[in-house]
Amino acid sequence: MANFRVNGVEYRLDVEPEMPLLWVLRDELGLTGTKFGCGIAACGACTVHVNGSSTRSCVTPVQAVEGADITTIEGLAEAVNGTAPDAPALTRVQQAWIDYQVPQCGYCQSGMVMAVTDLLNNNPNPSDADIDRSLSNICRCGSTPRVRKAIRSLVSA
Amino acid sequence: MTISRRRFLLSTAVIGGGLLIGYAATRPSRHRVANETLAHNGQRFLTTWLRIDPDNRVTVYVPHSEMGQGVHTSLAMMAADELDADWELVTAEQAPATDLFANGDLITGFASEFGLPSFLQPILAASSVKISQLVNLQTTGGSSSVRFTGEHGMRNAGAAAREMLIACAADRWGVPAEQCHTQLSHVHHNASGRSLAYGELAAAAAELEPPENPRLKQPQEFTIMGKAMSRADIPPKVNGSAQYGIDAYSDDMLFAAIRIAPVFGARLVSVDASEALGRRGVQRVIELEDSVAVVADNYWRAKEALKLVKAEFEQTENDHVSSADIWAQFDSDLAAGDGKKDKEVGDTKTAMSEASDIIEASYRVPYLAHAPMEPMNCTVHFHDGRADVWTSTQDNLGIRGRVASVGGLDENDVMMHPVYLGGGFGRRLPFNWNMIDHATLIAKQFEVPVKTIFSREDDMQQDYYRPAVASNFRASFDTNGNVSAWENRFTGPIQTPGAAHIPYAIGNQSIRVVDSETHVPIAAWRSVDHSQQTFFTESFIDEVAHRAGRNPYQFRLELLSEHPRHRRVLEVAAEGAGYGQNLPDGHAMGIAVQESFGSIVAEIAEVSIDENGQPRVHRVTCAIDCGRAVNPDTVEQQVESGILFGLSAALYGEITIENGAVVQANFPDYNSVRMAQTPEIQIHIIESGEALGGLGEPATPPIAAAVANAAYILTGQRIRELPFKNHDLSRSTPVAQR
């Protein structure tokens, strides 16, 4: 049995310990906001937070997150803003993504938003070099210029 | 809480209550209208794509897929502007995949540009296809949505609906229609101070026949077009709620992983699935003509079990083909024949024989995969003699027909559920069927929904590729040092007529294509033939300029005397880039300009060479003349996107063949530009007022040549084969700047 929390909900699942967290989320829990991109941690589309840290779920066996607190894109706003009735429905990163019209096809953006959120948690004032080093997510549409602009808007704010 | 799987059920697209204007029973059938359009080029296609509800909300039905190009927003803007709708009340929906919503404007648009595009031709070649299928079009490709569907269809639909609403209001008030005007979803009669909301008029208006030639606005009358509007598809894309094809989900769903013959065209010979069948969750192992699939209750379980399946594929004559063989074939075919005429002007032979100098060069670009972020996938649910389909596709109607044909159903019994696309770039055009066929045949064996997913490796190795092309050039100078002839022989097939043509005033031109087929399946890739040909022509014209001892920018301008729009984009880009001004040490600028899909684009890349001998692109300045910008922010997005897509390909992209099969498997060996390699991009939109140009593709072609032309100035090395990663630019001699 695998035991962990996803977006504040406790789960106890009968799945193989080596099943990647990505497929537990998508195929067992129906949490499809986390995306399958490459299966080998090369693209970052599957990024979730495990105990607050960016983790590529496609190569993370579920046994590695035993007892952990997992946040997916669906639960990010609640994790960041809390569950009070008047809590904003979007995080400031998500709002910046709308303000700067960052996503195109959007498929990589769940992972991108999770990675950027973690980056800003650890480094509230990242330089361009920090951004380059920390964000290796692939976006085939080419949203990266706007990702940088949106992050800069959060840094200077 | 213990949970197996529960979540939302598969959703169903339903057109809710309200009125679809223009669907009066007396309307000629859409089939007939569209057929007439197909039969007579240039004929006006008239229908409405608008629904107005009693609460005054407007829904625009967009017959195109949303893959991040913002089409649901920009087409809604075009209809809403002509309708004089209150933009706050307007939403867009993807048009259902039914005959009624076939998009004849595409045929009209493409036919007027260059005849039917190659990706539509297979449907014409299939003589057994019903005439109705010829126009079963909801294709999103050819940078066509705004300039064809929007400009021909959506604006007319909005304008026609507006006139119908005015007619109803005038009738109700007993006043002449000319005394009424419209604003913010209301009809007003100033003289009497009366007004009615569109929602109050829609029911009566729907009884009218839409006018054939409604008056369209002049640009100065636009209230919505030309403004940067937020894209409607973005909010669901920041919180995980956007539904892509791969997100179709139900409690009883099964998942299929597939192994297709690695050598294209090989058939499956035998399968030993004994080790896979006992695995947890595995339901069945399915043998198809060219593949074997494992179906399980979870994709990972299916994929793990598939690893245990032993499959033998037949040997083919291509089992030993490598990229080296393909290049050798191209070279020998180019050497053996003069090919077919693409363009002939003047007398190239004589000009060459009288030349004072001749410059020659041979270029090559490799096969490329599309590699959209969402791997190919398709969910099909056969039930009750029908099928429901969820798949990210650039043509829902095309896929409906294909699923029906492969699944043995009438196409009216196939229900396509519109979803967002996680990238397309040409991979998800109709005729790139493999995923659709596999998923349909697999799902047909079950009564529950089955989602078939290509792994990234399947996606990369079972694509329909951007063709590899070899291109040989010669150019001559006359005794005065002017360019007298341009000769080009390249390997075909031609997918985009005219892509190898040049805008430069060279009196003698001989451009010919030598078809050289291989076993590698090919298809359209963002910007189609322009992606190869612009690298060739804009690199070689640069070589010619340097050989003439001329500045490549001035040289181009002089040869573009008859192309003022080309000159303009070059001048605007040069000014924006600060071309000719001092640059940091070790930096240089390269230029390229190209017209494609009705837009003209100049790009100037500022480049240095990094410690690994690779180009580092610091800044790209782009000027684009797309006629007019409908949603300027979307224009900029598409330009950024096009440049980075082209840059990824130029720097890293290559699909190579060994033993008949694709070598590359995943992103490490088919890399993309990421944050660290992303240049600063400056965009200048030129509103020339000419016919609308496309946006999804035109920014892609020039970037490879722009970077290569800059690299030449820095290093003296002329890059004639892509990608850059195969070259070492570290030891080299800079060229004196002119």
Stretch (H or E) spanning B567: helix B564-577
Contacts of A33 in chain B (CB under 8 A): 239-241
Same domain, B355 and B278: no
**3 state SS of B580:** coil
Q: Across all residues in chain A, what is the average pLDDT?
A: 97
DSSP assignments along B115-179, one per residue? SS-GGGHHHHH-TTS-HHHHT------TT-IIIIIIIIIIHHHHHHHHHHHHHHHHHHHTS-GGG
Query: Do B667 and A143 make contact, defined as CB atoms within 8 angstroms?
Result: no
On whether residue B601 sits in a domain, the answer given is yes
B206: CB partners within 8 A, 6+ apart: B19, B20, B21, B22, B23, B24, B164
Query: Do B674 and A135 make contact, defined as CB atoms within 8 angstroms?
Result: yes
On whether residue B237 sits in a domain, the answer given is no
Q: How many CB pairs under 8 A join A and B?
A: 204
Distance CA B417, CA B8 (A): 15
Query: Do B641 and A142 make contact, defined as CB atoms within 8 angstroms?
Result: yes
Same domain, B136 and B75: yes
Q: Which of A23, A30, A76 lies nearest to residue B300, judging by beta carbons?
A: A23
pLDDT at B27: 38
Contacts of A12 in chain B (CB under 8 A): 1-2
Distance CA B629, CA B524 (A): 25
Q: Which token pair is B413?
A: 């019994």
pLDDT in tens, B135-153: 336 777 777 777 778 887 8
3-class SS shares of chain B: helix, strand, coil, % to 5 = 35, 25, 45
The torsion angles phi and psi of A67, rounded to 5 degrees, stand at 75, 5
Distance CA B378, CA B395 (A): 13
Query: Do B374 and A35 make contact, defined as CB atoms within 8 angstroms?
Result: yes
Contacts of B298 in chain A (CB under 8 A): 19, 23, 27-28
| A10: nearest CA partner in chain B | B1
Same domain, B492 and B430: no
Contacts of A154 in chain B (CB under 8 A): none
Contacts of A106 in chain B (CB under 8 A): 68, 233-234, 236-238, 242, 420, 422
Distance CA B516, CA B536 (A): 18
Same domain, B553 and B679: yes
DSSP state for residue B246 in the 8-state scheme: G
C-alpha distance from A136 to closest chain B C-alpha (Å)? 6
Alpha-carbon torsion angle B666, B671, B676, B677, nearest 10? -170
Query: Do B6 and A30 make contact, defined as CB atoms within 8 angstroms?
Result: yes
Q: Which token pair is B648?
A: 């990824």
| B640: nearest CA partner in chain A | A142
pLDDT at B113: 53
Q: Which token pair is B603?
A: 């790009």
Angle between helices B530-547 and B702-715 (to 10 degrees): 30
| A112: nearest CA partner in chain B | B238
Same domain, B184 and B307: no
DSSP state for residue B668 in the 8-state scheme: G
Domain boundary among B170, B193, B227: B227
Its domain, for residue B292, covers 250-316+370-461
Same domain, B23 and B50: yes
DSSP state for residue A24 in the 8-state scheme: I
C-alpha distance from A76 to closest chain B C-alpha (Å)? 8
157 residues of chain A, pLDDT tens digit each: 999 999 999 999 999 999 999 999 999 999 999 999 999 999 999 999 999 999 999 999 999 999 999 999 999 999 999 999 999 999 999 999 999 999 999 999 999 999 999 999 999 999 999 999 999 999 999 999 999 999 999 996 5
Query: Do A140 and B243 make contact, defined as CB atoms within 8 angstroms?
Result: no
Is B46 within 8 Å of B212 (Cβ atoms)? yes
| A29: nearest CA partner in chain B | B5
Same domain, B454 and B408: yes
Same domain, B172 and B24: yes
pLDDT at B105: 57
- Domain CATH for B154: 3.30.365.10
Question: What is the number of other CB atoms lying within 10 angstroms of the CB of residue A99?
Answer: 14
**3 state SS of B737:** coil
pLDDT at B490: 98
Bridge partners of B453?
B257, B377
pLDDT at B697: 95
On whether residue B239 sits in a domain, the answer given is no
Contacts of B369 in chain A (CB under 8 A): none
pLDDT at A78: 97
Domain boundary among B443, B461, B479: B461
Sign of CA dihedral B716, B592, A138, B294: negative
Bridge partners of B359?
B475
DSSP state for residue B439 in the 8-state scheme: H
Contacts of A105 in chain B (CB under 8 A): 67-68, 372-374, 420-424
| A102: nearest CA partner in chain B | B234
On whether residue B160 sits in a domain, the answer given is yes
Is B103 within 8 Å of B48 (Cβ atoms)? no
On whether residue B235 sits in a domain, the answer given is no
On whether residue B46 sits in a domain, the answer given is yes
Task: Of B302, B284, B561, give the one whose Cα is nearest residue B446.
Answer: B284
pLDDT at A22: 98
Same domain, B432 and B290: yes
Q: Which of B1, B645, B675 lies nearest to residue A9, judging by beta carbons?
A: B1
Query: Do A107 and B372 make contact, defined as CB atoms within 8 angstroms?
Result: yes
Question: What is the number of other CB atoms lying within 10 angstroms of the CB of residue A40?
Answer: 16
Query: Do B641 and A104 make contact, defined as CB atoms within 8 angstroms?
Result: yes
Q: Which of A28, A133, A140 lies nearest to residue B371, judging by beta carbons?
A: A140
| B237: nearest CA partner in chain A | A106
Contacts of A6 in chain B (CB under 8 A): none
Angle between helices B552-559 and B564-577 (to 10 degrees): 160
Q: Which of A105, A113, A148 lies nearest to residue B373, judging by beta carbons?
A: A105
Best residue in B251, B252, B297, B300 for a mutation probing chain A (most A CBs within 10 Å): B300
In this prediction, the residues of chain B whose per-residue pLDDT falls under 50 are 1-47, 114, 116-117, 119-136
* Residue whose entry in the numeric block shows the structure tokens 């700047």: B737
- As for how many domains chain B has, the answer is 3
DSSP assignments along A8-50, one per residue? TEEEEE---TTSBHHHIIIIIS--TTS--S-SSSSS-TTEEEE
Query: Do B371 and A147 make contact, defined as CB atoms within 8 angstroms?
Result: no
Write down the ipTM of this complex.
0.98
Walk me through the domains of chain A, giving residue ranges and CATH numbers.
2-77 (3.10.20.30), 84-156 (1.10.150.120)
Sign of CA dihedral B303, B306, B308, B314: negative
On whether residue B186 sits in a domain, the answer given is yes
Contacts of B2 in chain A (CB under 8 A): 11-13
Q: Which of A39, A42, A98 lies nearest to residue B235, judging by beta carbons?
A: A98
Domain boundary among B227, B262, B293: B227
Query: Do B68 and A105 make contact, defined as CB atoms within 8 angstroms?
Result: yes
Same domain, B376 and B395: yes
DSSP state for residue B278 in the 8-state scheme: T
Distance CA B469, CA B446 (A): 43
Same domain, B273 and B390: yes
For B138-292, where are the alpha helices, taking DSSP H only? 155-173, 198-205, 235-238, 274-277
| A90: nearest CA partner in chain B | B239
B208: CB partners within 8 A, 6+ apart: B24, B164, B167, B168
pLDDT at B15: 29
Is B207 within 8 Å of B51 (Cβ atoms)? no
Q: Which amino acid is at B268?
A: L
Contacts of A39 in chain B (CB under 8 A): 455-457, 666
Distance CA B316, CA B319 (A): 6
Angle between helices B155-173 and B198-205 (to 10 degrees): 90
Query: Do B423 and A74 make contact, defined as CB atoms within 8 angstroms?
Result: no
On whether residue B628 sits in a domain, the answer given is yes
Same domain, B413 and B533: no
C-alpha distance from B342 to closest chain A C-alpha (Å)? 33
